[in-house]
Amino acid sequence: MVYSHGTKHSSGTLVLFNPSLDVQVENYETDQRGRLIILRAKIDECRLIFINVYAPNDRKMQLEFFETLKSRMRKYADANIIIGGDLNCCLTPGDK
């Protein structure tokens, strides 16, 4: 388990693996606000990058967050990436 908790009032991301898997966490990085985990792991012989995000609701903060995420992801451009979490992106106003 790897987590980034942010503050006691908001944010937080977590990456959990099934205990039956043979997972070797090679390294990980988080942000100070608890909105991002980038984790490099090896499962069996497969190396994967797991990214868990909790994007801000505010549009201006979203732009900054996703620019930072894009910048941090560049070094993994040739890797197998699995990204998930709460992106807080609505396709239409009705999705809100």
How far is 30 from 93, CA to CA, in rounded Å? 31
Structural domains of the chain in order of their starting residue, each with its CATH number: 2-90 (3.60.10.10)
**Which has the higher per-residue pLDDT, 55 or 14?**
55
**Which has the higher per-residue pLDDT, 51 or 3?**
51
Q: What is the pLDDT of residues 33-87, one digit of tens each?
A: 889 999 999 999 999 999 999 999 888 999 999 999 999 999 999 999 999 999 9
Q: Residues 18-42: what's their mean pLDDT?
A: 93
pLDDT of residue 96: 65
**Which has the higher per-residue pLDDT, 12 or 35?**
35
Q: Three-state DSSP class for 50?
A: strand
pLDDT of residue 10: 63
How far is 27 from 7, CA to CA, in rounded Å? 23
